[in-house]
Structure 1
């Protein structure tokens, strides 16, 4: 059964489907300036419906084979207003996954991402059997760090030149949450 959790204001956190390509494209286009400081540089084609139609199936396949859990935050009108992804799931001795997320500029400050992340943490622990989740934020991304801390993540390190964000290799603060103590 696909992952789905109701959040406040009629917003639903649910597993990404192949039918979400156009709505996801519109969400990224609508939030282009809002996300620019926090995202990798994107090719011009990224900002088109066709780019997402051509590539979204890879994320859906990753959901199917258990290597990731790509989700969307969907408003009551069907508009996508955020993404929350659990990627790079490693089984065996590690039982770990990486968390990444963003929320529509119009929905910030409502506690939606904190609630969504808490739901994903519970699913990762109880349904996926993961032991640990990891996330990284830019040092000046106080809002993202606040979300992680509210949901029980703790800072575990500082990673110089960790990810290429906004066209530059940038340092990140690394957080983790242990799910089974």
Structure 2
């Protein structure tokens, strides 16, 4: 079955489309994610995507080329660690269609096969069951619970720590 999405790096020309997605989906993302909501924040995000330790990936619909979500690989470490933290969010208009599973799967392929990483972590608030189900479907393993782990919207929030290694990835999807 052909993929319904593809990934690409963002460009400054994507700002207005991203801002529309963010504003349209603001309530849907609350309290899990707080993407840029103004032009300067969006430009800062796209500039950050040029850093060695951060990869922003637009998840785009194959038919329309429209951005339907974002996957970010942050705090990318090489050498003995070869790890990154994965974050993602979907346009509210495309939620529940399996498109993010496809897009995040492409982002993980990119992390392992293009960036050469060994491990990807996703830290997810325990109440964010949709996000937890997504990483479970992709073969992540729950490794622990981090109390008051990240400050989000002014509050320190608990998170579950989920991780995936390249060996697990190959085993899970070698026949897919």
TM-score, reference length from structure 2: 0.85
Unaligned runs of 5+ in 1: 1-5
> Is 1:127 matched up with 2:123?
no
Question: Within 5 A, what are the aligned runs for 1:117-156?
Answer: 117-156=104-143
Return the match for 2:7 from 13, 22, 35: 13
Question: Within 5 A, what are the aligned runs for 1:24-35?
Answer: 24-35=18-29
1:106 match: 93
Q: Secondary structure at the match of 1:149?
A: helix
Q: 1:79 to 1:115 in 2, by over 3 A?
A: closer
8 Å contact 1:162–1:170 — kept in the other structure?
yes
4+ residue runs over 6 A deviation: none
Per-residue CA deviations over 1:1-55 (Å, capped at 9, x if unaligned) read xxxxx832xx332222222112111111111111121125x7xxx42234423x1
1:3 match: none
Unaligned runs of 5+ in 2: 169-176
* Number of residues of Structure 1 aligned to a counterpart in Structure 2: 166
TM-score, reference length from structure 1: 0.83
Per-residue CA deviations over 1:61-96 (Å, capped at 9, x if unaligned) read 12xxx3222011223445322110111100111000
8 Å contact 2:54–2:73 — kept in the other structure?
yes
CA RMSD of aligned residues (A): 1.9
